Amino acid sequence: MVKQAVISIRPWSVLWLLPLVFISFSACKTQKQGTGDLKKKSATALLKKLKSNQIDFEWFTTKANVRYQDKYTNQSFSSTIKVRKDSLIWLNVKKLGIEGGRALITPDSIFIINRLQREYYARDFGYLKRKYNIDVDFNTLQQLIVGNSIYHDLGKPKSAIAPPSYRLTTADDDMRNTYLLEPTTFLLQQMLLEDMTHGRTIKMDFGSYKNQGSKSIACARNIEMTSEETGAVKVSMSYSKIELNVPKTTPFSVSPRYRAL
């Protein structure tokens, strides 16, 4: 078994980690949304609404259908994703009902079992940063899996009307983040993160919201990422069978016959 640690790191572009995990393994009910009157609202009011829709959780579990595309790869597969807040992210990858791999992400490390190649991969986040020139933050990754907005407190926010949505923007010297909010529920429709220093962008579209207790969770995620290092990457995810705060097992053991990379 892998020993788990709890450490916090800061950076912004952690979402690049999910495609790296998926590629290493080589039906929601829609909530109706209105259009609203689009009356002018202050940035403070929109930011408060955005934060009020954040999902708090101890456990988050979902089934996901995933499609990954880049310049060289176009793959579809299914995955079970389990998140224990501030502790671990566990997921597997299946194709045609056969598990091809399994991953365990802790606040300081990532572990991958590739069953197809009988290989085992263990790295700290520092290695990923050195090899792929990305920063990795466990807390940010878990928030993105759940569907929460991130980095909305960079600087003084600005608001605008961008029919049929409200637009909220925050920025500092290095980053500019833009959030589109549905005008009646104020649910997050799109989040655009721009790293102006390194010329990277991540755009996430959220849809097919489903009520989960007093909150709503987006079951559809379309992600587009661009950077000099990776080119254009697209990831589409469709969630089903979402559970909140139901403890789960996260089995992860490595056969001694597997080759360590």
The enclosing domain of 118 has a CATH number of 2.50.20.10
**Global pTM value:** 0.83
Q: Do the domain assignments include residue 132? A: yes
Q: Where are the beta strands (DSSP E) in the chain?
A: 59-69, 74-84, 88-95, 98-105, 109-114, 119-124, 158-162, 165-171, 175-181, 188-195, 200-212, 215-227, 231-244, 259-260
Please tell me whether residue 226 adopts helix, strand or coil conformation. strand
CA atoms of 43 and 250, how far apart (whole Å):
41
CA atoms of 78 and 150, how far apart (whole Å):
26
Per residue of the chain (261 residues), give pLDDT as tens. 443 332 222 223 334 455 555 545 544 444 444 445 689 999 999 999 999 999 999 999 999 999 999 888 898 999 999 999 999 999 999 988 899 999 999 998 999 999 989 999 898 877 766 766 666 678 888 998 999 998 888 888 999 999 999 999 999 888 999 999 999 999 999 999 998 888 889 999 999 999 988 899 999 999 998 888 778 989 999 999 999 999 999 999 999 999 998
CB-based burial of residue 191 (10 Å sphere; 0-12 exposed, 13-18 middle, 19+ buried)? buried
Q: Do the domain assignments include residue 9? A: no
Task: Of 21, 47, 20, 25, give the one whose Cα is nearest residue 186.
Answer: 47
Q: Do the domain assignments include residue 75? A: yes
C-alpha distances in Å from residue 109, one per residue of 17, 23, 27, 179: 11, 17, 32, 30
Q: Do the domain assignments include residue 228? A: yes
Number of domains in the chain: 1
